[in-house]
Structure 1
Amino acid sequence: MGWNPHFPSSVSSPSRGGYTVLINTWKRNSLLKQSVAHYASCSMTDAIHVVWSEIDPPSENLKAFLRKIVSRKSQTAHKPNFRFDLNKEDNLNNRFKPIEDLRTDAIFSVDDDVIVPCSTLDFAFTVWQSAPFTMVGFVPRMHWLAGVKNGIMYYKYGGWWSVWWMGTYSMVLSKAAFFHRKYLDLYTYHMPSSIHDYVTRERNCEDIAMSLLIANTTDAPPIWVKGKINEIGSSGISSLNGHSDRRNKCLNDFISLYGTMPLVSTNVKAVDARQKWFW
């Protein structure tokens, strides 16, 4: 269908304040507690929103515990706002729903089992401020043209080892990435519903969809920030058999729905020179 909108006016406002941490969680309260406690301790955290998609709402005990820990862990006089964003159904599209009353332009999207040290996170925020239209994150991925059949190009999705081997990337995953809050609106209300339906049906690839949306809007690559992140949970869906095949299928199906390949490859990465003893 060749969907190729551009919304420069919708992503042109300057960054305000710090950043809003948007945590996606699913039945892992112990990990959620660790994650909320950590991000509450980061001085640039303005708010913490937990995307909750379980049938049962969070218990009053859990809500009270997390509010208390946010207040206790915060290192600043200004305490981060804390809120659960409740959803009636389990759907990966929920993690990109628009949020009312945000005070920041910067969204840091993160899974409940990913901990990024505050100093590393703050450095990534400064990188994002230099390019607020693009996606800035810690988990790079790539694509490449695998072949052409009957005039149709087929692409492969490459994980970390492909990025390491090739020295290039074209996506950063939303499991640990900054993007402008306007992309929540674009994802929910402007991206083709066929892509929403695909993510709902396959229960996968919402992160690829967001990468494609931002690349399609900016005609620019993302920015990979080199920094150590800690994964505190057990292996997720990326460890399951057939994961690579499903990601390949998602990528090609989305490109077919777009009618074009919007991803832009790059070999640039941002490194905090203060953390390195050599240039």
Structure 2
Amino acid sequence: MADQSVNTQRIILIQTESMNTNMSHIFKFTKVQILISHQHLPNWESEIKHYASPCVRIHPHLTSVLLNSFDTVCVGTNAAVTLVLMGYSTKRLPNYEIILQAYAKMDTINQIILIWNNKNEPFLNPYYDIPITFITPEENSMNNRFNVSEHLHTDAVLIVDDDVLLNEALISLILYRWIENTDRLFGLDGRFVLPGNKYSGYGRRHRESPLVIGKTMLFHRKYLEQYMNDQALVEWNRPRFCEDISMNALIFNATKLKPIIVQMNDHCYRTNLPEVDGLSIAIPANKWIDKRSICVQWVSEYFNIKF
């Protein structure tokens, strides 16, 4: 049972018929508090394993006094993400007017790191009141989105392209999934690897996929340090656009597990913004596939893995 009034974001779990609880109903709220009355729920000990512990309060008897005496608890109170954005084209500055304002209001985001890879064109950020860590590297390299360890305050790192906007419910959902599997790579956009290590631009809707692209990726901060400490990997990626495939390979090599694809829904969604000057549209599709296939082939040999 859920109280869905405008100002109340509280889930009161009284009874369930199945262990397959639909989490999307919960994550349509920005913040929730889960109250479990175990006199009404005989299997409550098993049931609560579906929820991150900071979100659960167990009361032997739920009364109106108890229900009104607790503040709303943020999903994953002890967990939040660092959002890493990276841009180059000034034609995408209007996107930042949207995404910075939106992300800055989200409680799930602990901090925003913005890497501006174009030192020849100023970012001209009029939203100086938004707390962000702004980085302007000397070199324009896709590696820069992973070279942020010294700025991090969280274990969870969320890489997002600047042509999409994730709503907070979706970020919370990805974070919730990650809390259960902090060694795994999570994302929204799966991709195939065909025989011969050929990259395919077509995605999968399955829970696991051989690759997840950098449009939206969430993983543990430890992998950033491993990536940047691998000089051969950094040098290979410096002039190329293979950093997301390389991170896939690094995490797969460490875990022997494929990335997990989080499914979006009506409540947990991503909004597409203009992708002007995007690499994948600036380069002809067949040449883009060829370039990405070279990335897959190289990292497969380097890590001695098979996607």
| Normalised TM-score (structure 1) | 0.73
Indicate the residue corresponding to 1:204 in structure 2: 241
Instruction: Give 1:237 deviation, angstroms.
Output: 2.0
Q: Is the 8 A contact 1:25 1:32 kept in 2?
A: no
SS of aligned partner of 1:160: coil
Instruction: Give 1:262 deviation, angstroms.
Output: 5.0
Please give the residue correspondences for 1:109-148 in structure 2 after superposition, counting only pairs within 5 Å: 109-144=159-194, 146=195
Deviations 1:118-154 (A, max 9, x none): 111111110011111111111111213x2xxxxxxx2
Name the aligned partner's letter for residue 247 of structure 1.
Answer: R
Please give the residue correspondences for 1:78-227 in structure 2 after superposition, counting only pairs within 5 Å: 81-144=131-194, 146=195, 154-161=196-203, 163=204, 169-189=209-229, 191=230, 193-201=231-239, 203-227=240-264
RMSD of aligned Cα (Å): 2.3
Name the aligned partner's letter for residue 40 of structure 1.
Answer: A
1-side partners of 2:127 and 2:257: how far apart? Answer: 38
Would the alpha carbon gap of residues 207 and 22 (structure 1) be closer, same or farther in structure 2, given more than 3 Å must change? same
Instruction: Give 1:34 deviation, angstroms.
Output: 1.6
Indicate the residue corresponding to 1:5 in structure 2: none
2-side partners of 1:56 and 1:234: how far apart? Answer: 21
2-side partners of 1:249 and 1:194: how far apart? Answer: 16
Q: Does 1:250 align with 2:295?
A: yes
Q: Is the 8 A contact 1:142 1:168 kept in 2?
A: no
Q: Is the 8 A contact 1:57 1:86 kept in 2?
A: no
Indicate the residue corresponding to 1:24 in structure 2: 86
Name the aligned partner's letter for residue 94 of structure 2.
Answer: S
2-side partners of 1:87 and 1:176: how far apart? Answer: 22
**Structure 2: stretches of 5+ with no match in the other structure:** 1-76
Name the aligned partner's letter for residue 110 of structure 2.
Answer: D
**Structure 1: stretches of 5+ with no match in the other structure:** 1-14, 71-80, 147-153, 264-279
2-side partners of 1:130 and 1:168: how far apart? Answer: 15
Indicate the residue corresponding to 2:116 in structure 1: 52
Q: Which protein shows a greater Rg?
A: 2
SS of aligned partner of 1:194: helix
Instruction: Give 1:101 deviation, angstroms.
Output: 4.4
Instruction: Give 1:57 deviation, angstroms.
Output: 7.2
User: Whose helix fraction is larger, Structure 1's or Structure 2's?
Assistant: 1
Name the aligned partner's letter for residue 274 of structure 2.
Answer: G
Q: Does 1:232 align with 2:232?
A: no
2-side partners of 1:58 and 1:183: how far apart? Answer: 30
Name the aligned partner's letter for residue 293 of structure 2.
Answer: N
Would the alpha carbon gap of residues 108 and 41 (structure 1) be closer, same or farther in structure 2, given more than 3 Å must change? same
Instruction: Give 1:108 deviation, angstroms.
Output: 0.7
Q: Paired residues, what number?
A: 222
Identity across matched positions, percent: 25
Moved runs in structure 1, 4+ residues, more than 3 A?
56-59
